Amino acid sequence: MRQRSLIAITAALAAGALTLTACGSRDDDGGSDSGSGGGGTTVVIGVDAPLTGDLSALGLGIKNSVDLAAKIANKEKTVDGVTFKVESLDDQGQPSVGQQNATKFVANDDVLGVVGPLNSSVGESMQKVFDSAKLVEVSPANTNPALSQGVDWQTKKVRPYKSYFRTATTDAIQGPFAAEYVYKDSKKRKAFIIDDKKTYGAGLAATFTEAFKKLGGQVVGTEHINPDTKDFNAVATKVKNSGADVVYYGGEYPQAGPLSKQIKAAGAKIPLVGGDGIYSADFIKLAGAGGTGDLATSVGAPVEELPSAKEFVANYKTEGYKEAYEAYGGYSYDSAWAIIEAVKKVVEDNDGKLPDDARSKVVDAMQNVSFDGVTGKVSFDEFGDATNKQLTVYAVENGTWGSVKSGTYNG
The predicted-structure confidence for 199-248, as pLDDT tens digits, reads as follows 999 999 999 999 999 999 999 999 999 999 999 999 999 999 999 999 99
* Helix runs in 163-300, H state only: 171-180, 199-215, 233-242, 253-265, 281-287
What is the mean predicted confidence (pLDDT) over 277-289? 96
Q: What is the pLDDT of residue 2?
A: 33
Torsion sign, CA atoms 387, 344, 66, 316: positive
CA distance 356 to 181: 50
Average pLDDT of 264-276? 97
Give the whole-angstrom CA distance, residue 233 versus residue 3: 36
Write out pLDDT tens, residues 342-369: 999 999 999 999 999 999 999 999 999 9
Say what the pLDDT of residue 20 is. 30
Give percent of the chain with pLDDT exceeding 90. Answer: 87
Chain Cα centroid distance, residue 173? 14
Assess whether pLDDT exceeds 80 at residue 188.
Answer: yes
pLDDT value for 31: 52
95 touches 3 (CB < 8 A): no
Give the contacts of 107 (CB within 8 A, at least 6 positions apart).
Answer: none
Is the omega angle on the peptide bond into residue 117 within 30 degrees of 0, that is, cis? yes
Which pLDDT does position 408 carry in this prediction? Answer: 84
Instruction: State residue 34's pLDDT score.
Output: 59
Distance, in Å, from the CA atom of 238 to the CA atom of 245, rounded to the nearest integer, reads: 13
Fold of 16-169+304-379: Rossmann fold (3.40.50)
What span, in angstroms and rounded, lies between the C-alpha atoms of 242 and 314? 47
C-alpha Rg value of the chain to the nearest Å: 21
What gap in Å lies between CA 279 and CA 394, rounded to an integer? 8
pLDDT over 70 at 30, yes or no: no
pLDDT at 313: 97
Whether the pLDDT of residue 1 is over 50: the answer is: no
Angle formed at CA 19 by CA 364 and CA 91, multiple of 5 degrees:
65
Percentage of the residues of the chain whose pLDDT score is greater than 70? 90
pLDDT of residue 136: 98
CATH 3.40.50.300 matches 171-299+391-409: no
- Mean pLDDT over 365-388 rounds to 97
Mean pLDDT confidence for 299-309: 90
Name the amino acid, one letter, at 325. Y
- Answer yes or no: are the C-beta atoms of 340 and 73 closer than 8 Å: yes
Over residues 170-190, mean pLDDT: 97
pTM: 0.86
Residue 53's pLDDT band (boundaries 50, 70, 90)? very high
Helix (H, G, I), strand (E, B) or coil at 191: strand
Model confidence at 16: pLDDT above 50: no
Residues of the chain with CATH 3.40.50.2300: 16-169+304-379, 171-299+391-409
Give the pLDDT band (50/70/90) at residue 141.
very high
Mean pLDDT (whole number) for 112-138? 98
Beta bridge mates, 371: 378
Strand 246-250 and strand 190-195: the pairing is parallel
Residues 6+ apart with CB under 8 A from 113: 45, 46, 135, 136, 137, 138, 339, 342, 343, 362, 366
Instruction: Give the mean model confidence (pLDDT) for residues 98-119.
Output: 98
Model confidence at 411, pLDDT cuts 50, 70, 90, reads low
| Residue 112 CA neighbour count, 13 Å, CB half | 40
**Which residue, among 32, 113, 44, has the nearest Cα to 319 in the 3D structure?**
32
Per-chain mean pLDDT for the chain? 91
Q: Is the pLDDT of residue 148 over 80?
A: yes
Judged against a pLDDT cut of 80, whether residue 10 lies above it is answered with no
Residue-level pLDDT at 32: 55
